[in-house]
Chain A
Amino acid sequence: MTGNPVSFVRMSVEEERISRFEEAVRPQLDSAHNLARWLTGSDADAGDVVQEACVRALRYFDGFHGGEVRPWFMAIVRNCAYTQLGRRPRTEELLDGAALADARGGSIEAELEREDERAALGRALEGLAPEFREAIVLRELEGLSYKEISAVTGAPIGTVMSRLSRARLLLLKRLGGSEGVRS
């Protein structure tokens, strides 16, 4: 083979580093996309967010020594998602859940009769303010512990606990399943 063998070695080293990163992050891509999609509300944005998060995470990867890849990477995805949201014209995400429900013509309870439970649940979750929505997504869909959610969101565990409580009460209320639950 002709050319510069040193360059060849350096390229292999870089490729090796990327490969190590990919092996660490590949199992997290579904979770990353799910979180990004729930936070941004758009497929196109979610894809951009995951791509950006991977590029950024690779940059920090050398500084990442051991520990859990999942919360580390999810925190980067979350940051990128909020950055992406900040770039958008500020309209809908400023509405909190209640305002959104009002904007859509009030109670989702009535929709329950027209739509199946699945759609209503998705809508109710979409209608939550981002800090409540991400708490539910990280806990119920990603199965993270409170400690991990705290690591991803940067909020203390007590805050994680109260956000989850509040989020669940809002969901129950919107799904019309509020019997026995005070809000």
Chain B
Amino acid sequence: MRCEEASELLGALADGELEPARRAAAEAHLSACAACAGRLRALRGLSSAVRAEAPYHRAPADLRARVERALRGSRGPALSSWRARVAPGLAGAAVGFACALFALRAAPPASPPLDEAVSEHIRAMLSDRLVTVESSDHHTVKPWFSRHVDFSPPVPDLAASGFPLKGGRVEPYGGRPAAVSVYARGRHVIDVFTWPEPGADTSPSLAVEQRGYHVLSWRTGSFGYRAVSDLNARELTEFAERLSRAAASNP
């Protein structure tokens, strides 16, 4: 492969988007060409810089309320006509009732259901979208979370204990966004769901075993945690205890 062809593929290679044959050809070229290897490094550096430094414009709080109002004002003509016929008092009561139902359902439960963690984990594993921010550096992943959820979860570095960080993503979990830090143990992937949950600290305990997956649940420093993995329960417990200790000592 020549440099011209290789440099067109470098971006897709860095993004993990090349099919195996082209990827192998590009990698073979890279191992022999320092210039292209340098270009790939520059592209990777740029990606991390954009992810970490470029402004992320989250939706302002009032936009959510505005959208809610706009959706309820946007009913089709058929609905508007019957709505006009309904006694205003009843309409008000109905809307109030429906909104109350909505609010009730939207309110995040204190502890999200355990099986939801397993399904989210399996879905992420299958969907090839395990991490949105890919980095083994907790100094990259933690600030990324701060920009994508309205809390800043602890993301300790556990590489020295044999649990390297892979990255992170944000999942809706129990009706609110949870930060999901992704760690590995050998070939096993560990998803750690974290969300604000006031209350006394609890120790990690095996909460559920389902479809070959283990879920550990605990609370440290006003954050709720769920660790999900197909890793064996003993090692997963070791991981959770290390993470919990590290988070408590360096939140």
Contacts and interface: CB of A to CB of B under 8 A. Distances in A.
- Specify whether A and B are partners: yes
Interface string B3-17: 000011011100101
Interface string A147-177: 0000000000000011011001001100101
A57 B94 CA distance: 24
Contacts of A143: 129, 131-133, 169
B17 A121 contact: no
Interface in A36-94: 37-38, 43, 46-47, 50-51, 54-55, 58-59
Interface string A8-27: 10111011101101110011
A55 B8 contact: no
B90 A55 contact: no
A32 B7 contact: no
Interface in B30-53: 35, 38-39, 41-43, 45-47, 49-51, 53
Contacts, number: 173
B71 A54 contact: yes
Nearest to A11: B94
Majority DSSP secondary structure for residues of B touching A: helix
Given A33-B63, A145-B17, A171-B46, A2 B177 contact: no
Interface in B49-68: 49-51, 53-60, 63-64, 66-68
16 contacts: A7-B83, A11-B83, A19-B98, A29-B59, A29-B63, A29-B64, A32-B59, A33-B60, A50-B59, A51-B67, A58-B74, A141-B54, A146-B12, A164-B15, A177-B45, A179-B42
Interface of A: 1-4, 7-8, 10-12, 14-16, 18-19, 21-23, 26-27, 29-30, 32-34, 37-38, 43, 46-47, 50-51, 54-55, 58-59, 117-118, 121-122, 125, 136, 139-143, 145-146, 161-162, 164-165, 168, 171-172, 175, 177-182
Given A165-B8, A172-B42, 11 more contacts: A11-B86, A16-B98, A22-B102, A30-B58, A33-B59, A50-B63, A117-B53, A121-B50, A143-B169, A164-B11, A164-B15
| CB-CB nearest 6 A-B residue pairs | A143-B132, A15-B98, A180-B38, A37-B57, A33-B59, A3-B90
